Structure 1
Amino acid sequence: MQSNIAPNCMVVTPHHLATQSAMAILREGGTAIEAMVSAAATIAVVYPHMNSIGGDSFWLIVPPTGDPVVIEGRGAAGSLATPDFFKDCKNIPYKGPKAANTVAGTVGAWEEALQYVSECGYQRTSLSKLLADAIKYAQDGFPVTKSHYESLKNIQAEGNFSSDFGRVFIPNGKIPKVGETFCQKQLARTLQHLVENGLNSFYKGELAKLIAEDMESLGMPITKSDLANYAPVRKVPLRLLHSHGEIFNIPLPQGLVSLTILGILDKLGIDGQHEGQFVHAAVEATLQSFKMRDEYIKEHMKTDPNSLLSSKNLFKMAKDVNLDRFSGAHPCKGPGDTIWMGIMDDKGFSVSFIQSIYFQFGSNVVLPRSGILWHNRGVAFNLEKDHALCIEPGKKPYHTLNPAAARLRDGRVLVYGTRGGDGQPQTQSAVFHRYVVQGKDAQQAVTEPRWLYGRISGPPETTLKLEGRFNTETINYLKERGHDIVMLPDYSEHTGQAGLLVRHPDGNMEGAFDVRSNGSAAGF
């Protein structure tokens, strides 16, 4: 299996319809940023179990020259999300109105990204073009994917969903079958309203009023004022100085983890020629990085994260890695329901992007008059007084999202990423290391068997899960070092849905998509 290569642009997404939406904008001369807005709108419709306009998103934009830019589309807890609001709960519920406790930031982040396009001197593509495909698929329908169907089976089995969720996603009590056409006409009208009134109408105006009224009627702790006060934020990305170049990620705890794993492996000099040694070292580096992250959160993230990425600190952490034995358990979160997409254009822009609702179908809350599915990112909070993650009005939740990019010493530019909670940094390390350090083909780096340390769902786990394509020698090597091995199918969604794009010094662009998804890589 080989990567796709094209001279003018490249798109990688986990759903082929989103890929085509982006391609249409690029063919008309749009930027990678505008193409990403189009892809993001489409995938919010056709992959509803993974993301929604009622979720959050994060952008990492690498311009032709100058520093990369992060756009954080992360909403804060509603002004009613007080301890008294949760007084009848031992923990924040995973589903329902109390789980839907933070503002959805993704639509505002789209607008901020388009504003960046204007600041760079480009005439913006109209919203009617950018959202045309999304509106069409919501209005006229699209074929249900297997993962969409399987996610709905899980939701129906749990039974924890509202009548409006059932009306939209399980019409007449029947789950749409794989390949069956599925429509979201109410959502189509909402998207059309955004076209006619601007993306900011999600937060201010008639649509915002409608959203706020529905949230109040459902018992969510978010108000009209909370929507109006939301604003996306631009930030400077974290940067790791790696022996192969500069690697960038977003300045939230999980971006720090992803960079730290790669930094530790770099200091250890792991070349990956011995697969078992590589996987073991990566797991040990992951454990070190998660411990550091948890301490960072515990101290309310007051430490400068760049100091944690210093060569001195990474060497210190590398010395603590035991290359001969599994060092001990560290509970990890399961995969999140998220999508990663990457786009490169002929103007020199490269975009790494993540959009998320956290769990399968987020909070399972659908706003009755707009058809918007709301996320449950706020379950990352807790109810422990004085804890760094204790929920309070206006506070932003912990995020696992971390789109990545790199500028290599040989002139190549990379954007890469994946879905998957605490699996994200693990999969990122596999893809980057196999492509950059081991020198494998981009598609091979994405397709090769992967691992996941930690749980898939339910209570925390400390098992090491391996895809079935790992050879017996590697499996035995890991068992001998004390890993508790659980085997997965040959190609498992639990190890993420990754992607990798490369801009080569000669201008050609290369794209690799994940066969574990419904995606594609395309260019022209």
Structure 2
Amino acid sequence: MDATPAGGMNPLYARSSSGVVTTPNALASGVGADILGRGGNAVEAAIAIAAAIAVVYPHMNSLGGDAFWLIADGDGEVRGLAGAGAAGAAYTPQHYADAGLAAMPERGGMAAVTVAGAVGSWAAAYEMSRDTWGGRLAWAEILAPARRYAEEGFPVSRSHAATLAERIDGLRDLPGFAEVFLAHGGVPGEGETMTQPALARTLAELQETGAEGFYRGALARRLVAGLRAAGSLLSEDDLAAYRPEWVEPLRMAYGAGELVNLPPPTQGVASLMLLGLLERAGVASMDPEGDAYVHHAIEATKRAFALRDRYVGDPRFVDVPLAAMLDADALDRLAATIDPQRAAPSPVVPGPGDTVWFGVVDAKGRSVSMIQSIYHEFGCGVVAGETGVVWNNRGCSFSLTPGHANVLAPGKRPFHTLNPALYVENGRVRLVYGTMGGDGQPQTQAAILTRALNFDYAPDAAVAAPRWLFGRTWGETSAGVRLERRFAPEVMVGLQRRGHLDLSWAPRFADIMGHAGMIRIGRRDGGLDLEAGADPRSDGAARAAGV
């Protein structure tokens, strides 16, 4: 096996002919690399990562969250899998009006609105792996690393410790939270050992029952009882009705190949539109770290988000005009509205969310681009009874405005910022990439894709290069632009000259820019040449199979 790094030279880069992974948590990367090293395929490794990272990176995701997948075989055939839970049957805008609320709550039992879809998606992907790819690893074996970390403990990451310390005042009194996350009497510091015995028992039960137990049976009943005791309206029938959905991915021409992303209720269409607008603006001829490049990316974001926010919702409930949004002539016209020398007004756009993206490519070139999320840090903050499962607050992205594409309704899935990505060329996947970061996801995808594809940055360099963020963060009502301090001062001056408002510097490697990753699939000497890059802004690592 050809694999680097050796001796831990660079944990953010790996190269191998027999499989690579990249995740925002080094422990989870190790789990995936081990599964590949034991002969597991990309889907089996992705499930093991998804379960493990739900234990060791609990501020970003959980068994109580959602997941979205792009799964590609070695010949470039791509399938999409949406593990997105819907609002419970009892949820209506009137429920919140009766409670005196004009907007969806972000924390507590009333924010536990939607069924968690991640675990069900693991099962659907596992079944596909066995039936189509000849997957051989047992379900219980794949979940074993996650259970072990929950039982025996793991060192708290930098991101986990910092996020909990920052958000603790709004979380400590929520049902079950302190018992799980403050078990030793206070906020754990980086490197302290954390165990999750209740979650370990839940994982042990899932090893025996399969994912079925999460939605139907004794575990499902305990989950619902814990949520309802906290004020949620979710019922056993809501969990039992959930099914993950195989979907046809969105595709759009770019360069010599195609961008691939997921359809609504995700914002995948916005990610494709943004890159389509950048290509039409001539991004390939710009300095990839210059002010013209950043200006055009911000202006493309404004236009893509305006259409996203107007139209994108659950296609089971609203008609999303995808063909019109991705039409080449329409993108030509929209790109022509971008003034190279003048910024358009900045609309108010939603704030960030917390998520994990990870990628896997196995020894046969089969790949997974996957995102898993509980939306805000620690989701709604409610731990479902004695299960150890913290629930998502994805429902707070619903609108309560009648007629809005994303208005709350029983059985409806909310708008999702989650959108994993691939780039296909000559019928084969060339790049596996994605990021966390809410509204930053399309922007970061644009940054790392263009730098890798148009400017030939290596995956780790594309991910590490300085980034910008257009949008707002917690407590803000208007959209601003933040630049990592590794941009040259002239970039800030150039944006100011073009009329961009609320410009500010962010740290050199800023968490608000998201935690991204990328894998490049090449070929060398008749075999695979796989390169993976992880984000220095995260606690992650890129690992080669078995290393």
Deviation, 1:138, is 0.6
1:60 paired to 2:77: no
Is the CA contact 2:109–2:228 (under 8 Å) kept in the aligned structure 1? no
Deviation, 1:388, is 2.3
| Aligned residue number for residue 257 of structure 1 | 270
1:357 paired to 2:374: yes
Candidates 423, 435, 450, aligned match of 1:406: 423
Map residues 37-436 of structure 1 onto 2, 5 A cutoff: 37-65=47-75, 67-86=77-96, 87-88=98-99, 89-158=101-170, 161-252=173-264, 253-271=266-284, 272-273=286-287, 275-297=290-312, 301-409=318-426, 413-436=430-453
| Aligned residue number for residue 531 of structure 2 | 510
Q: Distance in 2 between matches of 1:444 and 1:409?
A: 24
Query: What whole-Å deviation, never above 9, does each CA across 1:321-376 have from its counterpart, x for those lacking one?
Result: 11111111122222211000000001221110000000010000001211110000
SS of the equivalent of 2:358 reads strand
SS of the equivalent of 1:118 reads helix
Q: Distance in 2 between matches of 1:412 and 1:79?
A: 40
1:497 paired to 2:515: yes
Is the CA contact 1:52–1:372 (under 8 Å) kept in the aligned structure 2? yes
| Aligned residue number for residue 3 of structure 2 | none
Deviation, 1:133, is 1.1
Q: What amino acid is the match of 2:360?
A: I
Is the CA contact 2:59–2:163 (under 8 Å) kept in the aligned structure 1? yes
Q: Distance in 1 between matches of 2:306 and 2:464?
A: 29
Query: What whole-Å deviation, never above 9, does each CA across 1:25-51 have from its counterpart, x for those lacking one?
Result: 111111100100000000000000000
Q: Distance in 2 between matches of 1:144 and 1:223?
A: 33
SS of the equivalent of 2:22 reads strand
Is the CA contact 1:333–1:454 (under 8 Å) kept in the aligned structure 2? yes
Q: Distance in 1 between matches of 2:477 and 2:420?
A: 24
Cα RMSD after superposing both structures: 1.7
| Aligned residue number for residue 486 of structure 1 | 504
Q: What amino acid is the match of 2:433?
A: Y
% identity of equivalent residues: 39
1:520 paired to 2:541: yes
Q: Distance in 1 between matches of 2:171 and 2:523?
A: 53
Q: What amino acid is the match of 1:515?
A: P
Q: What number of residue pairs does the alignment pair up?
A: 524
Query: What whole-Å deviation, never above 9, does each CA across 1:292-343 have from its counterpart, x for those lacking one?
Result: 1122238975244133212211111110111111111122222211000000
Deviation, 1:468, is 0.7
TM-score w.r.t. length of structure 1: 0.97
Moved more, 277-286 or 407-416: 407-416
Q: Distance in 2 between matches of 1:293 and 1:84?
A: 26
Deviation, 1:520, is 0.5
Q: Distance in 2 between matches of 1:206 and 1:463?
A: 48
Q: 1:278 to 1:132 in 2, by over 3 A?
A: same
Deviation, 1:20, is 0.8
Is the CA contact 2:32–2:45 (under 8 Å) kept in the aligned structure 1? yes
Is the CA contact 1:74–1:232 (under 8 Å) kept in the aligned structure 2? yes
Map residues 27-38 of structure 1 onto 2, 5 A cutoff: 27-38=37-48
| Aligned residue number for residue 7 of structure 2 | none
Q: What amino acid is the match of 1:51?
A: N
Is the CA contact 2:343–2:498 (under 8 Å) kept in the aligned structure 1? yes
Q: Distance in 2 between matches of 1:121 and 1:426?
A: 34
Candidates 412, 437, 440, aligned match of 2:454: 437
Q: What amino acid is the match of 1:109?
A: S
SS of the equivalent of 2:39 reads coil
Query: What whole-Å deviation, never above 9, does each CA across 1:426-468 have from its counterpart, x for those lacking one?
Result: 0000000111012222211111110000112123332100001
Q: Distance in 2 between matches of 1:309 and 1:183?
A: 47
| Aligned residue number for residue 14 of structure 1 | 24
Q: Distance in 2 between matches of 1:409 and 1:496?
A: 30
Is the CA contact 2:463–2:518 (under 8 Å) kept in the aligned structure 1? yes
Deviation, 1:98, is 0.7
Q: Distance in 2 between matches of 1:202 and 1:179?
A: 31
Q: What amino acid is the match of 1:509?
A: L
Q: Distance in 2 between matches of 1:303 and 1:138?
A: 41
Is the CA contact 1:411–1:504 (under 8 Å) kept in the aligned structure 2? no
Is the CA contact 1:61–1:351 (under 8 Å) kept in the aligned structure 2? yes
Is the CA contact 1:21–1:133 (under 8 Å) kept in the aligned structure 2? yes
Deviation, 1:94, is 0.6
Question: Which sections of structure 2, spanning at least 5 residues, go unmatched?
Answer: 1-9
SS of the equivalent of 1:366 reads coil
Q: What amino acid is the match of 2:516?
A: A
Query: What whole-Å deviation, never above 9, does each CA across 1:61-117 have from its counterpart, x for those lacking one?
Result: 111225311100000001121334321122211100010110000000000001111
Is the CA contact 2:267–2:312 (under 8 Å) kept in the aligned structure 1? no
Q: Distance in 2 between matches of 1:24 and 1:410?
A: 29
Moved more, 424-433 or 86-95: 86-95
Deviation, 1:220, is 0.7
Q: What amino acid is the match of 2:189?
A: K
| Aligned residue number for residue 451 of structure 1 | 468
Q: 1:110 to 1:343 in 2, by over 3 A?
A: same
Is the CA contact 1:454–1:460 (under 8 Å) kept in the aligned structure 2? no
Q: What amino acid is the match of 2:276?
A: G
Q: 1:459 to 1:273 in 2, by over 3 A?
A: closer
Query: What whole-Å deviation, never above 9, does each CA across 1:125-168 have from its counterpart, x for those lacking one?
Result: 11221111111111111111121112111232335632410111
Is the CA contact 1:332–1:453 (under 8 Å) kept in the aligned structure 2? no
Q: Distance in 1 between matches of 2:94 and 2:309?
A: 27
Q: Distance in 1 between matches of 2:448 and 2:53?
A: 23
Q: What amino acid is the match of 1:82?
A: T
Q: 1:53 to 1:266 in 2, by over 3 A?
A: same
Q: Distance in 2 between matches of 1:288 and 1:387?
A: 19
Q: Distance in 2 between matches of 1:387 and 1:480?
A: 36
Is the CA contact 2:227–2:382 (under 8 Å) kept in the aligned structure 1? no
Is the CA contact 1:343–1:350 (under 8 Å) kept in the aligned structure 2? yes
